[in-house]
């Protein structure tokens, strides 16, 4: 119990140092919004929550604690926009085996998305979406490059979620072996790059 308390204290101290260095603001009052977006198991708690204002969006960083038989800590980076930015939602991760892909598609009511003429991306990334045609319109070459970097350039294996007004990268780990905050910071940089690529696509579409 004492060892676990020391782990929690060290994690908290790391968060405080990260927030100070990146000039993040406390966003504990936004827990309800983030719980709705992350949709974790019942009883999960978000703490701490930090944020920074972007142009027309808000960047959040947080830990989501799941108690139970196998306690887990999901670290998350989110961008929430004030206006719709993506024409389609999708979920992407490191390549899953076909059975898991099929189960994921069935659970979400979606389908596997295959990008024409990009065998490398298809071999390394699993993409699920309800509307494959709209998802393909989002998966431009610049976005695919940034997505590959986010999924594979770090020890952590994140999951990427995109909806009309939200972008999310999450990494789930055992509660006693949490994702290093340095990796979470790197994922925040990756998410900002993905956000820039999607925003550029929207600006092109708007002319």
Q: What is the C-alpha separation between 62 and 31, in angstroms, rounded? A: 10
Q: Which residue has the tokens 């782990």?
A: 7
Q: What is the C-alpha separation between 79 and 172, in angstroms, rounded? A: 18
Residue 51 token pair: 């944020």
Is residue 1 predicted with pLDDT exceeding 80? no
> What secondary structure letter does DSSP report for 179?
P
Give 75-116 pLDDT, tens digit per residue. 999 999 999 999 889 999 999 998 888 888 888 888 999 999
Point out which residues pair with 78 in neighbouring strands: 60, 168
Query: Tell me, what's the pLDDT at 207?
Result: 61
Q: What is the C-alpha separation between 160 and 13, in angstroms, rounded? A: 27
Helix (H) / strand (E) containing 31: helix 31-38
Give 119-169 pLDDT, tens digit per residue. 999 999 999 999 999 999 999 999 999 999 999 999 999 999 999 999 999
Give 26-37 pLDDT, tens digit per residue. 999 999 999 998
Q: What is the C-alpha separation between 135 and 160, in angstroms, rounded? A: 13
Supply the pTM of this predicted model.
0.92
Question: What's the pLDDT band for 183 if we cut at 50, 70, 90?
Answer: very high
Point out which residues pair with 18 in neighbouring strands: none
Q: What is the C-alpha separation between 191 and 71, in angstroms, rounded? A: 26
Q: What is the C-alpha separation between 185 and 191, in angstroms, rounded? A: 10
Is residue 6 predicted with pLDDT exceeding 80? no
């Amino acid at each position: 119990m004492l060892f676990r308390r020391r782990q929690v204290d060290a994690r908290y101290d790391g968060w405080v140092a990260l927030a100070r260095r990146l000039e993040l603001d406390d966003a504990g009052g936004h827990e309800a919004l983030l719980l709705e977006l992350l949709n974790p198991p019942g009883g999960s708690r978000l703490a701490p929550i930090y944020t920074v204002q972007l142009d027309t969006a808000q960047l959040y960083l947080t830990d989501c604690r799941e108690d139970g038989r196998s306690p887990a800590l999901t670290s998350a980076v989110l961008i929430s926009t004030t206006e719709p930015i993506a024409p389609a939602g999708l979920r992407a991760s490191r390549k899953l085996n076909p059975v898991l892909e099929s189960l994921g598609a069935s659970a979400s009511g979606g389908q596997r998305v295959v990008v024409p003429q990009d065998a490398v991306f298809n071999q390394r990334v699993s993409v699920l979406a309800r509307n494959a045609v709209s998802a393909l319109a989002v998966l431009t070459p610049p976005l695919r490059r940034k997505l590959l970097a986010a999924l594979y350039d770090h020890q952590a294996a994140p999951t990427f979620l995109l909806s009309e007004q939200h972008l999310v990268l999450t990494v789930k780990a055992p509660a006693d072996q949490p994702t290093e905050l340095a990796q979470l910071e790197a994922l925040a940089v990756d998410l900002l790059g993905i956000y820039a690529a999607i925003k550029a696509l929207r600006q092109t579409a708007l002319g």
